[in-house]
Structure 1
């Protein structure tokens, strides 16, 4: 009984398809649809979006005065378009392609045909070169990406200068500070009377501690100061200007200013008190 009902149901479905004009696609048509589907899978449609910038490159570059700097621009799908560099300050065209279009020959465009990088090289940059530069592609209309260049000049400060007075037998603490450096100085050297200080000398008690960061500080410590420790001390960061001070190690003398354990004090506390009161009054 069940078999008979299934046969009747099958016959009914076939009749409905036949009356509605629906039928299974022929073999050739099925093969054609399959080929079209395979073609779409193997060769998807490619849309040419034109040149565009790879924005992973840094848009903020810090350079040191007189140290060659580079602004890098990565352009994808450039085609036959031209890349130019423009200075925003005066809208001056600096380079077109690999050619320099300014009389200032410090600016050069660098490009390796095997890469998508277009680099603006700036030799001997000065603080006046700070500002916005734009990497521009000659599409219609042009497209560009701005980059900001900051040219800084690190400043070295040697606390207590230009002359420092300390008592014989006390600890001499010379503190050298380096500011406005895009990166901590790789090295900081100390000299005494133009001779590099030997921290392993038989004299002993001489050491240096350097803390690197946005502001780098180097401490030269000389324990049990003696008369031979007097003289000219120079702190020389590898990426900043050197700074010098004169140290006087005193044996019972009484100059106007003395330093004990790295702390400066005035020999005349009453005068210091009057000075502090005067400064306070002026500030009111």
Structure 2
């Protein structure tokens, strides 16, 4: 890039301002183009001076989470008197032409930034059905077009820890539920509870304003047994089953034949016995 700029500067120094009576001074901006738009390179290789072209840094793959505004941008250099249009490929719907929105859908908006040569289609409250290919067209002859792929993702709710919990009566229990998203602040987590003999859920208010995904149950008893449902509209809810046991039953449930702890103890005993037996045999021989 530095070499290219130095070449241009040398060109300016060694060429006269006018190469004839009807010639215009060398226009450096037409060579370098505009670079004010974020992430845009100075690109003019193999381009005809004065002809429109798509900026090479224009994103052709855009991802947005369900419910947020998806923005797909078309950056056209040296647009001149040509117009830019947006078309949705799945139904060939014309969304906009130049700076006018043609779509009858309220969720479709257009943002034009002439300073940065950017035509942005905004899809408000994006849903999975908005995923697909969008085409940016320029009214050249022949027509220029660029395809943009939009993917609307749906995060998942996740329970931290086991989905089936056994707790001793009188102990404290903490449930944690989060959304697999880098925009946690967007999601309103709501908890519901249904007792083991109940058919409907009870709505619980936000228990922790700083972290609504955490539910603390202090000194649990049998009445706390049941299903705990974590939701965040419109995501698929997840649940935890809690069983509160009296002290004796809890101890029995923690010691079962075939558990990893009992198996390791048996293996340890077998190894010690084998070592002792080998030592005895070697001593006798």
| Pair in the same fold by TM > 0.5 | yes
2:267 aligned residue: none
Residues 1:99 and 2:100 aligned together? yes
1:9 aligned residue: none
1:238 is displaced (CA, Å) by 9.4
1:130 aligned residue: 131
1:249 is displaced (CA, Å) by 2.6
1:76 aligned residue: 77
Summarize deviations over 1:192-211 as a string: whole Å, max 9, x none: 862444599xxxxxxx8xxx
Work out which of the residue numbers 18, 31, 34 in structure 2 matches 1:39.
18
Equivalent pair of 2:168/2:247 in contact (CA under 8 Å): yes
Residues 1:251 and 2:233 aligned together? no
Measured at CA, do residues 135 and 173 of structure 1 come closer, stay the same or move farther in structure 2, by a change above 3 Å? same
1:173 is displaced (CA, Å) by 5.4
Pairwise CA RMSD of aligned residues? 4.4
1:118 aligned residue: 119
1:138 is displaced (CA, Å) by 0.7
1:268 is displaced (CA, Å) by 9.4
1:226-237 equivalences under 5 Å are 226-227=220-221, 230=224, 233=228, 235=230
Measured at CA, do residues 151 and 190 of structure 1 come closer, stay the same or move farther in structure 2, by a change above 3 Å? closer
Measured at CA, do residues 248 and 195 of structure 1 come closer, stay the same or move farther in structure 2, by a change above 3 Å? farther
2:152 aligned residue: 151
Residues 1:185 and 2:184 aligned together? yes
1:98 is displaced (CA, Å) by 2.5
Task: Please identify, of 125-134 and 60-69, the stretch whose mean Cα deviation from structure 2 is larger.
Answer: 60-69
Equivalent pair of 1:74/1:117 in contact (CA under 8 Å): yes
2:59 aligned residue: 58
Summarize deviations over 1:147-189 as a string: whole Å, max 9, x none: 111112222133655x64322366645353534x4x3423786
1:71 is displaced (CA, Å) by 0.7
Aligned mates of 2:104, 2:17 — CA distance in 1: 59
1:86 is displaced (CA, Å) by 1.5
Equivalent pair of 2:50/2:80 in contact (CA under 8 Å): no
1:83 is displaced (CA, Å) by 0.4
1:29 aligned residue: none
5+ residue gaps in structure 2? 1-13, 31-47, 194-203, 260-285
2:280 aligned residue: none
**Rg larger in structure:** 1
Equivalent pair of 2:172/2:220 in contact (CA under 8 Å): no
Runs of 4+ in 1 over 6 A off after TM superposition: 218-222, 267-270
Aligned mates of 2:77, 2:25 — CA distance in 1: 22
Measured at CA, do residues 249 and 128 of structure 1 come closer, stay the same or move farther in structure 2, by a change above 3 Å? same
Equivalent pair of 1:68/1:123 in contact (CA under 8 Å): yes
